[in-house]
Amino acid sequence: MKKLIFTSAITLLLLPLGQGQNIGISTTGAPAKASALLNVNATNLGLLTPRVPLAPVKICGTMENLEILKALDPSLEKRMESNELILQQAIKDMSERTPSEKQQSPIPKGWIPTTNAVITIPVVVHVLWNTASENITDAQVISQIDVLNKDYSRTNLDTSLIPAPWKNIATNTGIQFCLAKIDPLGNPTNGIIRKQSSNTVFNKTNASPKSNATGGDNAWDTYKYFNIWVCDLGGTLLGYAEFSNSTKSNTFGAVIHYQTFGTTGNVWSSYKQGRSATHEIGHCWNLRHTWGDDGGACTGSDFCADTPNQANYCNKANPAFPELDACATASPGYMFCNYMDYSLDKDKYMFTKDQSDRMNLSITSFYPSLITSTACQPSGTSVNNISAELPVSIYPNPTSGKIQVAVSSSSSSQYKIEIYNLLGEKVHSTLINLAGNTSNGVNNHSSIINLDVSKGIYFYQISSENNSISTGKLIIQ
């Protein structure tokens, strides 16, 4: 919502950061006018003043949660300031890449932890329930993961509603989510934990959903799993999130009210399209509200230059393009349809390119181990130790649907090839006898397999008669 101006962030990273100190950040390289500076300080990070929303029926509690975390951790403000500069530097590096380099991967050179352009994040959902109706079904959980994958890849059907001026900046973020298949002890899981609690309503402190001690459930290793807690948050709170630039947190993740999680089950009528989780997880990757949480002052920032300035959140039941306010006084107005606004679920359906860069670079900067986590791969001895025991190669990968599987092994000639989607559902299984050529006592087998599955991200598992296995990610495009 505000142009960012980078001066010399690398130098600035070395400066001590005092509270209230203003740091000029520019993407133009030109000397920044004082009035144009993006000031990374406690005030515009929303750290000093609790941001009181006007009066929507249901709200996001992320900024209030930040105030609570700040009170618990005196070093949080400075850590977030420093990490914001790291993030801004990564965004600057990204802006300097050539178009072909950007096409290869959303991640800048030097930051690439994977050969695939798509980041796939293992998810564990903690369902905390007091009454039976709060113990939501697996189907409701799966419907939410499906929404996340559509919204974050811009394959949501309502992307067609994006007003013309914003169609070119609405983007596929390249971020996807999968339900974990392996728990932290190496046991199989469907990525959903259920726990009954004596708490009738959870809150952010003395009845936190994130701790066994307060009637909730401890996070799984936040560096290998993205944690989502689903529970009753009362009547007005949709959810809340923790920003990843607070770093090194064992409570990192998102909390979502069970009646706005997914698209099926007992969900609230205006919040039944799964967009509360889309919004809160955006916060986890350091997206801010599009209006900048400045109480209408037009001076706050969401650190994204391609979202228009905005006075306050959209509180209209049926916004219509263009929506104008005190900070967006002319068409195209403010971006009411952005996932990071407060519009009802039916009225928000896009992330911008700058938001996508910010999210991707937040993941690679602060939680890169989520990208390489093997927690979604369908089997193995441990989430820390899933290895390709079976010497297998699959190519091409990405593929249009046909793959060649080659195995070099003397142990077996019969293999089972199974393909799983991000929800952990098996979508393909083939049993093959591979005719081999013996070389030095080792059979070199290969076979071509046609996969009749739709485009997307999958995991393959190849197992032999003696149970040696190989697992990995497969992209159908």
Closest to Zn ion by CB, 287 or 423: 287
Rounded CA separation 83/100 (Å): 28
Rg, Å, the chain Cα set = 23
Torsion sign (Cα): 285, 228, 179, 366: positive
Binding window for Zn ion (CB under 5 A); candidates: 12-20, 58-66, 168-176, 423-431: 58-66
Rounded CA separation 343/276 (Å): 10
Closest to Zn ion by CB, 220 or 339: 339
62 touching Zn ion, by CB under 5 A: yes
143 touching Zn ion, by CB under 5 A: no
Closest to Zn ion by CB, 60 or 141: 60
Rounded CA separation 433/417 (Å): 11
Rounded CA separation 450/428 (Å): 10
281 touching Zn ion, by CB under 5 A: no
Residues 6+ apart with CB under 8 A from 324: 330, 331, 333, 334
Question: What SS3 class is residue 370?
Answer: helix
Residue 81: active-site member: no
60 touching Zn ion, by CB under 5 A: yes
Nearest-10 crossing angle of helices 62-72, 76-95: 130
Closest to Zn ion by CB, 129 or 243: 243
Element (H, E) at 407: strand 402-409
SS (H, E, C) 187-206: CECCCEEEEECCCCCCCCCC
31 φ/ψ angles, rounded to the nearest 5 degrees = -55, 135
Beta bridge partners of 235: none
Rounded CA separation 29/139 (Å): 50
Kindly state the DSSP code that residue 436 receives in the 8-state scheme.
E
CB of 288 to Zn ion, least distance (A): 8
Closest to Zn ion by CB, 62 or 88: 62
Q: Which residue is nearest to Zn ion (CB)?
A: 60
CB of 240 to Zn ion, least distance (A): 8
Binding window for Zn ion (CB under 5 A); candidates: 57-65, 77-85, 295-303, 389-397: 57-65
Closest to Zn ion by CB, 342 or 458: 342
CB of 53 to Zn ion, least distance (A): 10
CB of 67 to Zn ion, least distance (A): 14
Task: Quickly count: other Cβ atoms within 10 Å of residue 185's Cβ.
Answer: 8
276 touching Zn ion, by CB under 5 A: no
CB of 47 to Zn ion, least distance (A): 15
CB of 248 to Zn ion, least distance (A): 22
**Which is catalytic among the residues 81, 242, 280, 418?**
280
Binding window for Zn ion (CB under 5 A); candidates: 62-70, 113-121, 320-328, 412-420: 62-70
Structure token digits, residue 329: 């006084």
Element (H, E) at 395: strand 392-395
CB of 279 to Zn ion, least distance (A): 5
Closest to Zn ion by CB, 277 or 474: 277
Residue type, 32: A
Closest to Zn ion by CB, 12 or 311: 311
Residues 6+ apart with CB under 8 A from 294: 44, 51, 300
Q: Give the C-alpha distances (Å, rounded to integers) separating 307 from 1, 81, 171.
A: 4, 22, 13
Rounded CA separation 412/92 (Å): 51
CB of 244 to Zn ion, least distance (A): 14
Q: Which residue has 């181990």 as its token pair? A: 369
Q: Which residue has 């509180």 as its token pair? A: 315
Closest to Zn ion by CB, 60 or 375: 60
Q: Which residue has 């390709």 as its token pair? A: 388
CB of 59 to Zn ion, least distance (A): 8
256 φ/ψ angles, rounded to the nearest 5 degrees = -130, 135
Beta bridge partners of 60: 239
Which stretches of the chain bind Zn ion, using CB under 5 A?
60, 62
List active site positions: 280
